[in-house]
Amino acid sequence: MRNIRTQLIEIVVMFFVPVASLAMLRSIELEDAKLFPNYICYIMLVFAVIHAFQVFKSWRKDKAEKGEPAPFPMRRVAVALGLMIIYFLSMEAVGFYLDGFLFFLVTTLVLSPAGSPRRWWAARPSARYASWPCSTSSSTPCSG
């Protein structure tokens, strides 16, 4: 059931991209400027139709999905994604080098397995860094 849902979402996205692009191209008045992307969108729609047909055909062949899908480490991936987003967003404020260093430390601390010696290895320099107030006032290339 879960597989059918993801396949449906996939088909919807495959149709949505060219349809949305065609809608955006409608606002362009100069025909020649939108000719090439128009053709690309039509071709994408053709591929989306073929794919949808293939998927529906496969459903008819074997309706029951056998076996459990492999477990996906959702929590770990979500945490990594969150850390990356924080890293990108804070880069301009914190500065490239400092932000990269902090990202390295925090990621090592958060994503290392519990009890791993790597946690202590990462925690030591971060503790030293936090106890050194002068370093936090250093200016970095990105922060100007």
- Say how far apart CA 81 and CA 90 lie, in whole Å: 14
CA-based R_g, the chain, Å: 25
First-residue to last-residue Cα distance in the chain: 53
Closest CA to 35 of 48, 22, 17: 22
Of residues 36-95, which lie at the interface with other proteins (CB under 8 A)?
A: 36-37, 40-41, 43-44, 47-48, 50-51, 54, 72-73, 76-77, 80-81, 84, 87-88, 91-92
Of residues 107-126, which lie at the interface with other proteins (CB under 8 A)?
A: 107-108, 111-113, 118
- Say how far apart CA 102 and CA 121 lie, in whole Å: 14
Q: Which of 30/134 has CB closer to other proteins?
A: 30
Closest CA to 77 of 117, 107, 119: 107
Two tokens at 114? 């519990």
Two tokens at 81? 């994604």
**Residue 33 contacts other proteins per CB under 8 A:** yes
Enter the DSSP assignment of 119.
H
How far apart are CB 108 and other proteins at their closest, in Å?
A: 6
How far apart are CB 94 and other proteins at their closest, in Å?
A: 13
How far apart are CB 80 and other proteins at their closest, in Å?
A: 4
Binding residues for other proteins (CB under 8 A): 6, 10, 14, 17-18, 21, 24-25, 28, 30, 32-37, 40-41, 43-44, 47-48, 50-51, 54, 72-73, 76-77, 80-81, 84, 87-88, 91-92, 96, 100, 103-104, 107-108, 111-113, 118
